[in-house]
Chain A
Amino acid sequence: DVKVTQSSRYLVKRTGEKVFLECVQDMDHENMFWYRQDPGLGLRLIYFSYDVKMKEKGDIPEGYSVSREKKERFSLILESASTNQTSMYLCASTLFQGNYGYTFGSGTRLTVV
């Protein structure tokens, strides 16, 4: 089975800190995605990547950046964390652009205090 592993299940950071959320998949998937999930707002796409060193903005990229230096790893970066970035962050991957099922990680619940 494909596994998408997110480095932390729970994370607490202070306002203004630089935060790295790591995501690794083990099945050579080209496509990787970062979502955040908030009550009443559902899952919203932040950034995605179709290949190494390639990135595309999703619906809510403000305050975030990403890095994809290796195919298996997709990092979400909060340059200066703010309290409104407290959320559940979900990483996903899929084989390549097209009509295949996505595999999601278990999520990282980030709290910014």
Chain B
Amino acid sequence: DAKTTQPPSMDCAEGRAANLPCNHSTISGNEYVYWYRQIHSQGPQYIIHGLKNNETNEMASLIITEDRKSSTLILPHATLRDTAVYYCIVNQGGKLIFGQGTELSVKP
């Protein structure tokens, strides 16, 4: 099963870009990478997902390396409300298997 590795915590200044890395070196060719975030006491919220190409939506950008062994989630202008735990997940046959995630703290 593909696993992901993320730093346990990161800080980011308000208004700056937050770049959250993820390693998924055992990912298979047809497995997508998903990013979710969870704000305290709420259910996880979908952010973005991708397979090979870089993706962008209204929330974030996802950069996937050419060998697909790692990816970076970019929040272009972090706000205090972006403080949350961010999960990088590989979709394994329709199931999302969560790791420990990165706790992002956005500071004024």
Contact = CB atoms under 8 A, between A and B. Distances in A.
A99 B44 contact: no
Interface residues of A, number: 24
A31 B93 CA distance: 12
A72 B36 CA distance: 23
| Interface size range of chain B in the complex | 20 to 34
B94 A107 contact: no
A65 B28 CA distance: 31
A3 to B, nearest CB: 11
Interface of A: 4, 31, 33, 35, 42-45, 48, 50, 58-59, 90, 92, 97-99, 101-107
Given A33-B96, A35-B98, 11 more contacts: A42-B99, A43-B98, A45-B95, A50-B94, A92-B44, A97-B93, A99-B32, A103-B46, A104-B44, A107-B41, A107-B43
